Amino acid sequence: MSDTSAYTTRTALVTGAASGIGAASARWLDRQGIGRLILVDRDAAGLDALELSCPVQAVVGDVAEEALWTGLDARLEGLDHAVLNAGIATGGAIADHSFEDWRRVMAVNLDGAFLSLRAALGAMRRREPAAGRRGSIVLTASVTGIRPVAGIGAYGIAKAGVAHMARIAALEVAGEGIRVNAIAPGGVDTAIWESSADFRAGVERHGRDATLQAMAATTPRGRFATPDELAGEIGFLLSDAAANITGTVLVSDGGYSL
């Protein structure tokens, strides 16, 4: 699908890179022979544990802090690709949400997406285009931002915002050789589920595999995706093979939203 030699002179940014889909995306880019990776996460130990062969600049911080992005600006010079993926999940119906939980989900999932997108767009705009191409960006949304799911209101609302952010940004920069897309995963087997009390209770009673299997029962495919499956799809959207694709929200949910 991709010409790996194309990546050797390129720089990519991945947020939420210490775990799950972000870590798998960093590994995917590493396998393409990417020239330089800038990895952002609040989890220093998780970033340390990644075994990558390309040059890596690991940045420990909170994507929702504007100062992180101001400080990073110079390092983003020459940016080719960005996977803006850091996110947290929280459960709870809208009527039951504490304002504190609502604000935290909005801060990480929406403010963090905006701040990282603005920084990536700024860096791409400052560079000279090569063959009309300046860069490509993928934001991680969620199928819960497309199909309403009861009980995770704040998260779904934030992810609907992320998907629309990708569409609007795509429209604004399409003429400048920058592509912006989003991926909307359904269930993926990652650590994010540990933040769900129902999931933790299920794991305690039935084990992790059986709990994931039960949750995937409502998905036509019958199982959750792996982080590597998502990384391959994100990689396609980043790659030159997707040169005509911008403003798309690619649903990767095993048929869940059908």
Question: Is 256 an annotated catalytic residue?
Answer: no
Smallest distance, ligand NAD to C-beta of residue 2, A:
22
Smallest distance, ligand NAD to C-beta of residue 72, A:
12
Given the residues 28, 155, 193, 224, the one annotated as active site: 155
Is residue 37 close enough to count as binding ligand NAD by CB under 6 A? no
Looking at beta carbons only, is 142 or 239 nearer to ligand NAD?
142
Whole-angstrom distance, CA of residue 140 vs CA of residue 24: 13
Looking at beta carbons only, is 85 or 136 nearer to ligand NAD?
85
Is residue 191 close enough to count as binding ligand NAD by CB under 6 A? yes
Smallest distance, ligand NAD to C-beta of residue 221, A:
13
Q: Please give the full DSSP string across the chain, using - where no structure is assigned.
A: ---GGGGTT-EEEEESTTSHHHHHHHHHHHHTT-SEEEEEES-HHHHHH---SS-EEEEES-TT-HHHHHHHGGGGTT--EEEE-------B-GGG--HHHHHHHIIIIIIHHHHHHHHHHHHHHHSPPBTTB-EEEEEE--GGGTS--TTBHHHHHHHHHHHHHHHHHHHHHGGGTEEEEEEEE--B-SGGGGG-HHHHHHHHHH-HHHHHHHHGGGSTT-SPBPHHHHHHHHHHHHSGGGTT--S-EEEESTTTT-
- Show the site string, 214-253: x = touches ligand NAD by CB under 6 A, - = not: ----------------------------------------
Q: Which of 63, 146, 163, 173 binds ligand NAD (CB under 6 A)?
A: 63
Q: Of 48, 37, 80, 41, whose CA–CA distance to 63 is shortest? A: 41
Is residue 108 close enough to count as binding ligand NAD by CB under 6 A? yes
Q: Which of 11, 13, 59, 87 binds ligand NAD (CB under 6 A)?
A: 87
Q: Which of 153, 156, 177, 185 binds ligand NAD (CB under 6 A)?
A: 185
Is residue 85 close enough to count as binding ligand NAD by CB under 6 A? yes
Is residue 116 close enough to count as binding ligand NAD by CB under 6 A? no
- Specify whether the CB–CB gap between 7 and 31 falls below 8 A: no
Interface size with ligand NAD, residues (CB under 6 A) = 28
Is residue 115 close enough to count as binding ligand NAD by CB under 6 A? no
Site for ligand NAD, rule CB under 6 A: 16, 18-22, 41-43, 46, 62-64, 85-89, 108, 112, 140, 142, 185, 187-188, 190-192
